[in-house]
Structure 1
Amino acid sequence: MKIYGDKQSGNSYKLILVTSFLEIPYEWQNIDTKKGETRTDSFLQMNPNGKIPILILDDGRILSESNAILNFLAEGSDLIPNDSFERAKVFQWQFFEQYSHEPYIAVARYIRHYLGIPEERRAEYESKQMGGHKALQVMETQLEKTPYLVGDHLTTADISLFAYTHVAEEGGFDLSSYPKILDWIKRIQSLERFVPMKSF
């Protein structure tokens, strides 16, 4: 099994976390998005959408989209609830991550941390702040009620949201205003087989 990803990508980091938590063996194939490696003919044959991460199974089947891969890898584990309603809540948080969280926090992080907020992207960066804080407040509200996003144990919902939330300050988001999120981050970091983003 091979995972194609970029070490600076939160979406790729989700898969690093789940494979570590579940002790799933794989081969890492590094893709440098800054060098255009997702736009090569060979990569586009694997994923016409030209995005990472992608998973290639031993039999050659290919799966893209980080949360789809995450849930596939976690199938049958405690990271995906057996209860149909709780499972739907996991998916609810993952849709939230892709539509209401990642477009603001991950993009702001990219503009600030990797590009240094060039003047031509300053307005875009500033526009991401409001949406990012709204997403963080939604998470904070839930984490005031439960230790994890879907109840009292880790699920793939937490892995999905952890990836970019724990580095949100690199996008200019002050997490000190969100004490429950900070507690949640520490809770995940203290789990057995946790691996830091910077270490892979």
Structure 2
Amino acid sequence: MSEVTIYAMPSSGNTYKVRLLLAHLGRDVRVVKAEAGTPEVAALRDAGKLPLGSLPVLELPDGTLIPESNAILCYLADGTPWLPTDPVTRAHVLGWMFWEQNAHEGCIAVRGALRTYPHRQAEATPDRMAQLLDAGHRALARMEGHLTLADWLAGAQPTIADLCLFAYTHRAAHPGGFDMARFPAVTAWLARTAALPGHQQMDT
């Protein structure tokens, strides 16, 4: 297949999930790195490479741009085992991916970001951090309940739902500060996902 370009924020789980799928698919990819608030991001915005204003963005060989990490996952996985063709299983995959953006990222990822990025320290008030901790533990408990009964999030084999949720969940303990000892099934799932052939570590 022709090479695609990913405009990537290396420290972002949203970028990581896309690069992880590309690694599993063995796709040739050109990576253009840009961290938030840097001149590189401004240059991408000025060049019209960020249609929805954020990273990551996938650029196809013909110049077509696909923004939003989960939309990129769906595009890349289409026609592969990572996105099942069975309508019910596919709906379950999408359901976990929608939930990740709605109920998971906003606490797991945000708490980690507030503990990591100096320019966001003013947001890390004790009340906010406590609220994020409670919300994150509830999200992890939701995953725990499912993964106690199943090896994977949707269906009998790994899908993009697993890669999507792995990206931020594997950093929940650090830098997020979540107590992963409370979630043994999630911890076992993280290990299974990391053991898949072609797995790639997060590029930070």
Q: Which runs of 5+ in 1 are unaligned?
A: none
- In the other structure, the counterpart of 1:196 is 201
Structure number with the higher helix fraction is 1
Q: In structure 1, what is the Cα distance between the partners aligned to 2:67 and 2:124? A: 29
- In the other structure, the counterpart of 1:12 is 15
Query: Is 1:185 the equivalent of 2:194?
Result: no
Letter in 1 for 2:137: H
- In the other structure, the counterpart of 1:3 is 6
* Secondary structure in 2 matching 1:29: strand
1:160 deviates by 0.5
The TM-score, its normalising length taken from structure 1, stands at 0.93
- In the other structure, the counterpart of 1:151 is 155
1:36 deviates by 5.5
Q: In structure 1, what is the Cα distance between the partners aligned to 2:119 and 2:181? A: 23
Q: Larger deviation: 65-74 or 33-42?
A: 33-42
- In the other structure, the counterpart of 1:26 is 29
Q: In structure 1, what is the Cα distance between the partners aligned to 2:141 and 2:77? A: 27
Equivalence map 1:75-90=2 (5 Å): 75-90=78-93
* Secondary structure in 1 matching 2:58: strand
Root-mean-square deviation (Å): 1.8
Preserved contact between residue 11 and residue 163 of structure 1 (Cα < 8 Å): yes
- In the other structure, the counterpart of 1:93 is 96
1:135 deviates by 0.8
- In the other structure, the counterpart of 2:62 is 59
Equivalence map 1:99-118=2 (5 Å): 99-115=102-118, 118=121
- In the other structure, the counterpart of 2:124 is 121
Q: Which runs of 5+ in 2 are unaligned?
A: none
Q: In structure 1, what is the Cα distance between the partners aligned to 2:14 and 2:197? A: 21
The count of aligned residue pairs is: 199
1:46 deviates by 2.1
The TM-score, its normalising length taken from structure 2, stands at 0.91
Preserved contact between residue 114 and residue 123 of structure 2 (Cα < 8 Å): no
Preserved contact between residue 38 and residue 44 of structure 1 (Cα < 8 Å): no
1:40 deviates by 4.3
